[in-house]
Structure 1
Amino acid sequence: MSILNISAYRFVSLDDLPALRERMLAQCHALDVKGTILLAPEGINLFLAGPREAVDGFMSWLGDDPRFAGMQGKESWSEHVPFKRMRVRLKKEIITLRHPTIRPEGGRAPAVDAATLKRWLDQGRDDEGRDVVLLDTRNAYETDAGMFAQAIDYRIASFTELPSVLAADQSRYAGKTVVSYCTGGIRCEKFALYMQDIGMQRVFQLEGGILKYFEEAGGAHWQGDCFVFDERGAVDKDLNPALLQPLPPQTGEEEMPA
């Protein structure tokens, strides 16, 4: 497979969005890279596809801006570019939660890496002996493709629904270690901060999301595939295209594998 797919994000304050959009769009067109980049005052979220040299060229160019230096992406491969065009969109949030007091650029919630989460799931508890609860922060059509065994899936239609459904079920998590997860890390990072904000204890985010977990832990304890927001439909535990299915109707809130 010759097409590199890369997803990456960073929560960082941005105040030159229209000019930044034009520069990024021009650079992507020059390199013939396709995909989607979301820009908002709180940061950047991107998913791009093209030959290795083209994608690396864009990420190198992007890293010349100190705000994006050192961004690490999750990589996977496909036979064809799974996007029809290149879009750079301006939004109010790069992942819509509608809780403006949650500002990840001001500090992250604690994170757990893939190896640590796998060990916790293998032994049935965390390193301090607490029960571990996995919270899937994705939408129902994503969890239908696959999810961690025994994870809590609230069957939401939009990320913005999650705070209210969690509030009605908060007692479930008392005394337990909670790990939020999502496709690439952006949703679980933001929602881990929300859980801390409402007073929940022992909250972690899965570092790099499902895609990084597949890369580093081989998909242990995972059932099915991982939905992605492009024409591949999903990837399997080896990060290869798994399903070729049409995307669901877009809400305008989430168009990225995050």
Structure 2
Amino acid sequence: MEFVIATFYRFVELSNYYDMKNRLAGFCKNIGLKGTILLAEEGINSTISGTKSAIDDFFRFLDLDDRLCNLKWQKTYASFQPFGKMKVRLKKEIVTLGVSDLSPSLKGEYIEPENWDDFISSPDVYVIDTRNEYEIKLGKFSNAINPNTQNFRDFPKWAEFWMQDKSKNKSKIAMYCTGGVRCEKSTTYMKSLGFKQVYHLKGGIINYLAKKQNSNNTWQGECFVFDDRVAVSNSLLPSDEIKCISCAQKVTTDELKSVPHGQVICYHCKS
């Protein structure tokens, strides 16, 4: 059986997000979806998985709400259900940066996947990976800066330190993440610090691999995902190329399902 995994987000005012929880959770469970939906006053952020017909039904359901209609979503596939249950959670932020009063309208400019490789090859562009250290260990764009953060809340502190070199204010900044939500919020934060030329990869790594298939080998490694797949390959299928961080031997799919946040250690090294 093939499962479709849908990843999506939208920054939009949802003043009644508390009231949306039970309705969304009930609908998802009734059609057999599993995954996580985060709701906040600033919008929605989600990865869900199910049959193609169930995913189609879900987005038709969202289309009934003018604030959530015509959502762009990233599609990947797996031969197994990568989520154990369906969760709808209420949050202060749909991705937690920990900085209040950021206006979504301040966000940077999108770079389409088709133009990304050329854009980041320019010597006057700083490429910043906005993901966590354990994600970056599995894969990154070759020339990207690693902020060495353990969670997204660490990013503002790193950015403030990094910008102490005032010459960087005149440079272009290109940011990316897995599906687009973290890099979009990061661009908003960077612009609030005074950076003018801030850009981000539209749809994140997932959209890039879907559109470009890493044709220029700019992306190196695997893309970490927050479910039982652990990571996906250039073809966006569950990866079979992840190696143990201790002995560098390949780790099996069953082993991957038991590892926490990218700390990939094989059974032999654990024992």
> TM-score higher than 0.5 here?
yes
CA contact (8 A) 1:31 1:54 kept: yes
Question: Which sits farther off after the overlay, 108-117 or 238-247?
Answer: 238-247
Q: What amino acid is the match of 1:131?
A: D
Partner of 1:256: none
Could you tell me the TM-score, scaled by structure 2's length? 0.85
C-alpha distance 206-249 of structure 1, shift in aligned 2 (>3 A): closer
Query: Match for 2:134 among 120, 135, 141?
Result: 141
Between the two proteins, the alignment pairs up a number of residues equal to 243
Q: What amino acid is the match of 2:193?
A: I
1:98 & 1:160 partners in 2: Cα distance?
6
Query: Match for 1:160 among 153, 156, 164?
Result: 153
Runs of 4+ residues over 4 Å off in structure 1: none
Q: How does 1:182-201 map to 2 (within 5 A)?
A: 182-201=177-196
2:260 & 2:3 partners in 1: Cα distance?
24
Secondary structure class of the residue paired with 2:127: strand
Q: What amino acid is the match of 1:227?
A: F
2:62 & 2:106 partners in 1: Cα distance?
23
2:192 & 2:145 partners in 1: Cα distance?
20
Secondary structure class of the residue paired with 2:44: strand
Secondary structure class of the residue paired with 1:66: coil
Secondary structure class of the residue paired with 1:68: coil
Partner of 2:8: 8
- 1:232 matched to 2:229? The reply is yes
CA contact (8 A) 2:107 2:191 kept: no
Partner of 2:260: 248
2:118 & 2:259 partners in 1: Cα distance?
34
2:182 & 2:168 partners in 1: Cα distance?
19
Report the Cα offset of residue 107 of structure 1.
4.8
1:41 & 1:8 partners in 2: Cα distance?
16
Partner of 2:172: 177
Partner of 2:91: 91
Query: Computing the radius of gyration over CA atoms, which structure comes out larger, 1 or 2?
Result: 2
Partner of 1:64: 64
Question: Which sits farther off after the overlay, 95-104 or 142-151?
Answer: 95-104
- 1:215 matched to 2:210? The reply is yes
CA contact (8 A) 2:169 2:194 kept: no
Report the Cα offset of residue 164 of structure 1.
1.1
1:247 & 1:200 partners in 2: Cα distance?
38
Instruction: Spell out, residue by residue over 1:21-45, the C-alpha distance to the aligned partner (whole angstroms, 9 max, x if none).
Output: 0110111011001000000110000
Partner of 1:204: 199
1:135 & 1:115 partners in 2: Cα distance?
18
User: Which structure 2 segments of 5+ residues have no match?
Assistant: 243-252, 263-271
Report the Cα offset of residue 173 of structure 1.
3.0
C-alpha distance 235-37 of structure 1, shift in aligned 2 (>3 A): same
Report the Cα offset of residue 165 of structure 1.
1.2
Could you tell me the TM-score, scaled by structure 1's length? 0.90
CA contact (8 A) 1:227 1:233 kept: yes
Q: What amino acid is the match of 2:57?
A: G
1:103 & 1:24 partners in 2: Cα distance?
26
2:162 & 2:85 partners in 1: Cα distance?
41
Partner of 1:117: 116
Report the Cα offset of residue 154 of structure 1.
1.4
Report the Cα offset of residue 247 of structure 1.
5.0
- 1:19 matched to 2:19? The reply is yes
